[in-house]
Structure 1
Amino acid sequence: MGARRRRVGTLAAVVATLALVVAGCGGSGGSSGDGGDCDTSRGTLVVGLIAPLSGELASVGLGMKNSADVAINQANARCAVPGYHLAVQSQDDRADPQVGAAAAATLARDPSLIGVLGPFNSSVAQTVQPVLGEAGVVQISPGSTATSLTRGANAVTAPLRQYQTFFRTVATDAVQGPAAATYLSRTENKRRVAVVSDGKTYGDGIAEEFAKQLATQGGQVVARVRAPQGTPQAQVVSSVAAARPDAVFYGGEYPEGGPLSAALAAGGVSVPVMGGDGVVNPGYVTAGGREGDLGTSVGPPPETLPAAREFVEAYRRAGYPESIGSYGAFTYDAANVLVDSAVRSLAEDGEWTPTLRPEIVRAVQGFHGDGITGPLSFDRFGDVSTDAVTVYRVQQGRWAVVGPAD
């Protein structure tokens, strides 16, 4: 196909021009800007997105979808891919691994697909990885944090990257779990901790990372409870109460975490509950989360980042009914990395063909630039280089920023 075009990957130029293209972000829920006078004679290129767009985690998935829309609208407005219009094709995985795998297969069959953003759930990512990997389609997740997705089951002793097509713009649980344990033991002086997880890839993974770090801080896991969906809540409360902890760490997501916090209090366990990014959602509080409960999330809040202000404003002006959420900024960065890498991978004549998908994978691997969440590059496992973690606390019925975990 001729010589490939090469240039240094950067999102700095994208961020610098956001103010010029905010007006091109379209209306509520739109998935493509009109691109003004851009030449789109070559057709449409598809950016796939897999996320929970319905069900209990819909607020997370819709924030991801909308943020991808903002990024792609802006890309179209600045004629990012000469000759082409970009369109987001969203697939609802319903937080179900098998539904996610089917969605990935549907997207992969589209010859105009340049890459996929998502999913959110690590358990869904496990089933999506092999489908997109076999098709050679690059996948950039803004929310799947399980360490095993990039480094296998033995992340320390024998790390193994199974899928070269998988990347993520969000830090792993190997960063977040230890940060939570250090904060809880050192800052909150909670050292006798009961650890509960939901039995899923994310929940069990972050719980184990937390437990390992707690031991190095002189703490003790006084109870270890795995509670897959359907486990009687009274059984969990009884196991935790018997251990008399001074805190509970929950590995799981907010639809189950909130009710657990309420049930523990009703059962006489009035100690704070702490969780990872899976619980830092308004739904945690409405589902029963209590004042003083704690959570961690990867990266700083987007509204506090100077580089993210234009994105936040663009999202607001677009009129989406859903909030950006904890993963919108990471999705926005992932979308821009994908678009930038696709441009760098086109043939000399600018023509797209599915045979260029391996070129996009290599371009993402070699990406170096500045996103709205911070500097972006990927290590040999496909993990992002940044590792900031923020601590939150439920105060006056909402999650409030406490500060950086470190």
Structure 2
Amino acid sequence: MMFTPKRAVAVVGLAAAALVATACSGGTSEPAGSGDAAAPSGGTITIAAPLALTGSAGSVGLEVRNGAELAIEEINAAGGIGGRELVLNAQDTAGDPAQAVQVVSSMSRDADTIALLGPLLTPEVAAVYNSIAETGIVMIPPASLGAIPGVEGGEFNDWTFRVNQPLQYVATPLIVKAIEETDAKKVTVLGLSDNPTNKEIADWWEEGAKGAGVEVQRIDFPNATTDFSAIATSIAPDSDVIAFSTLPSHTASLTALLRQSGHKAQFLGETAMLSHEVWDNSGGATLGAFAYSPFLPDANDRAKAFTEAFTEKYDLPPSLFSALGYESIYLIAEAADENVTRDSLREGLSTLSGFEGVTGTLGYDGSGDVLRGEIPFVHIIDGGGVEKIGEIVPENAG
């Protein structure tokens, strides 16, 4: 059976269930860059994955890669795209923007590569943002959620399609929801002083909390910090909510220290809080933490089938980041035509709407940030999974 583009047939799990999601297509203007006019020349189609597989975000990159590999296995089992198999070429950027530039430049020169799954972190995405438009290759950053410097109002270039829910549209609703749930009077916001993305997220949370009329303590520290004891002891003991705009390694260490010291505050995080690394390395200290997650294992039939297949393959449940890697590959397959080129893929993604995926119903209005409706407001349950306890509405809700 051949995978049919424009009709995303997911062969998922042991039952190999066929699940159909339609997408509406229309005309689009020509992009500023120019992709390859010809289809990939070889017998396979390559999706390049410049991901942080080591470093402070390495666990997230590995989770994305695992989800992407499962999706490619399923699509190839169904016949590939136009009869050609997909190949994932994953290379490590270590989360370093300079290394991301080198890796992306090399990958983009391969004529058989039709898209980039990555980079992972927003500073890396910013570093390659202009070059991918000049080269003319689709970039799907699977985890990036911060603002891109120089991109105003979500007006991205024609080649960039983010799939994670951008925090700039949910930051204020998220922290206001946490304050309402806890009747908080004081909030501590943690950020990274030398990471523009995490610093900006912390800014949004600080502004949102102040707007809700609560007292705010703000603490920033460098990304290279490894001893968190001074930071933990400097957090106000009467804080009702502690909001983490930090990377998984920081969050794991700090949440463990805070619980060991007896701090009872409600933890709040963005999607990095949901990484398996945070749960495992904190010793379960994030139990009950608030976050938001476009992915819930039992949200719909596709999510259930994906969860079953992923758990069977890797012997652990999927995280949000595994789901985003998986979703990204199916978005590519859905948007591709049988003679897929970089240009035709860009056009297909730019007009995609109503795609029923494992992270909800989504699409794009041109390029840029994904459009979704309401986003689950969740807390972390025993074992590191999540449970929906409410909803928040993004400011760019589709």
1:382 to 2:368 alignment? yes
Write the distance in 2 (CA, Å) between the matches of 1:234 and 1:66: 34
Asked if the contact 2:138–2:346 (Cα under 8 Å) also holds between the matched residues in 1, the reply is yes
- Of 196, 217, 220 in structure 1, the residue corresponding to residue 212 of structure 2 is 217
Query: Which structure shows the higher helix fraction?
Result: 1
Write the distance in 2 (CA, Å) between the matches of 1:116 and 1:22: 27
Closer, same or farther: CA 314–400 of 1 in aligned 2, 3 Å: closer
Closer, same or farther: CA 291–253 of 1 in aligned 2, 3 Å: closer
In the superposition, the TM-score normalised over structure 1's length comes to 0.78
SS at 1:302 equivalent: coil
Write the distance in 2 (CA, Å) between the matches of 1:282 and 1:84: 34
Please give the residue correspondences for 1:347-358 in structure 2 after superposition, counting only pairs within 5 Å.
Answer: 356-358=341-343
Q: Deviations over 1:121-179 (max 9, x none)?
A: 22222223233222111011221111x23xx56x8xx5263432111122110233223
1:260 Cα deviation after fit: 1.7
1:52 Cα deviation after fit: 2.3
Closer, same or farther: CA 388–170 of 1 in aligned 2, 3 Å: farther
The amino acid that maps onto 1:178 is: T
Equivalent residue pairs, number: 364
Write the distance in 1 (CA, Å) between the matches of 2:224 and 2:307: 38
SS at 1:123 equivalent: helix
Write the distance in 1 (CA, Å) between the matches of 2:363 and 2:298: 22
The amino acid that maps onto 1:310 is: A
Closer, same or farther: CA 254–41 of 1 in aligned 2, 3 Å: closer
- Of 334, 345, 350 in structure 2, the residue corresponding to residue 360 of structure 1 is 345
Asked if the contact 1:118–1:139 (Cα under 8 Å) also holds between the matched residues in 2, the reply is yes
1:227 Cα deviation after fit: 0.9
Q: Deviations over 1:260-317 (max 9, x none)?
A: 2344456675423321111222322343363655131331313443222222233234
Closer, same or farther: CA 50–189 of 1 in aligned 2, 3 Å: same
Asked if the contact 2:379–2:389 (Cα under 8 Å) also holds between the matched residues in 1, the reply is no
1:365 Cα deviation after fit: 0.6
1:68 to 2:54 alignment? no
CA RMSD after TM alignment = 3.2
SS at 1:49 equivalent: strand
Asked if the contact 1:170–1:298 (Cα under 8 Å) also holds between the matched residues in 2, the reply is no
Q: Which residue number corresponds to residue 189 of structure 2?
A: 195
Q: Which residue number corresponds to residue 51 of structure 2?
A: 51
Asked if the contact 1:171–1:387 (Cα under 8 Å) also holds between the matched residues in 2, the reply is no
User: Which range moves more in the overlay, 169-178 or 300-309?
Assistant: 300-309
Closer, same or farther: CA 165–291 of 1 in aligned 2, 3 Å: closer
| Unaligned runs of at least 5 residues, structure 1 | 1-6, 24-39, 347-351
| Unaligned runs of at least 5 residues, structure 2 | 18-39, 393-398
SS at 1:45 equivalent: strand
1:82 Cα deviation after fit: 2.2
Q: Which residue number corresponds to residue 102 of structure 2?
A: 102
1:370 to 2:365 alignment? no
Asked if the contact 2:293–2:376 (Cα under 8 Å) also holds between the matched residues in 1, the reply is yes
Q: Which residue number corresponds to residue 173 of structure 2?
A: 179
Asked if the contact 2:274–2:319 (Cα under 8 Å) also holds between the matched residues in 1, the reply is no
Asked if the contact 1:165–1:361 (Cα under 8 Å) also holds between the matched residues in 2, the reply is yes
Q: Which residue number corresponds to residue 250 of structure 1?
A: 244
1:281 to 2:275 alignment? yes
1:73 Cα deviation after fit: 2.1
Please give the residue correspondences for 1:137-152 in structure 2 after superposition, counting only pairs within 5 Å.
Answer: 137-146=137-146, 148-149=147-148, 152=149
Please give the residue correspondences for 1:341-352 in structure 2 after superposition, counting only pairs within 5 Å.
Answer: 341-343=335-337, 346=339
In the superposition, the TM-score normalised over structure 2's length comes to 0.80
Write the distance in 1 (CA, Å) between the matches of 2:293 and 2:181: 19
- Of 317, 329, 333 in structure 1, the residue corresponding to residue 327 of structure 2 is 333
Q: Which residue number corresponds to residue 88 of structure 1?
A: 88
Closer, same or farther: CA 196–108 of 1 in aligned 2, 3 Å: same
Closer, same or farther: CA 76–41 of 1 in aligned 2, 3 Å: farther
Write the distance in 2 (CA, Å) between the matches of 1:96 and 1:41: 31
Closer, same or farther: CA 214–41 of 1 in aligned 2, 3 Å: closer
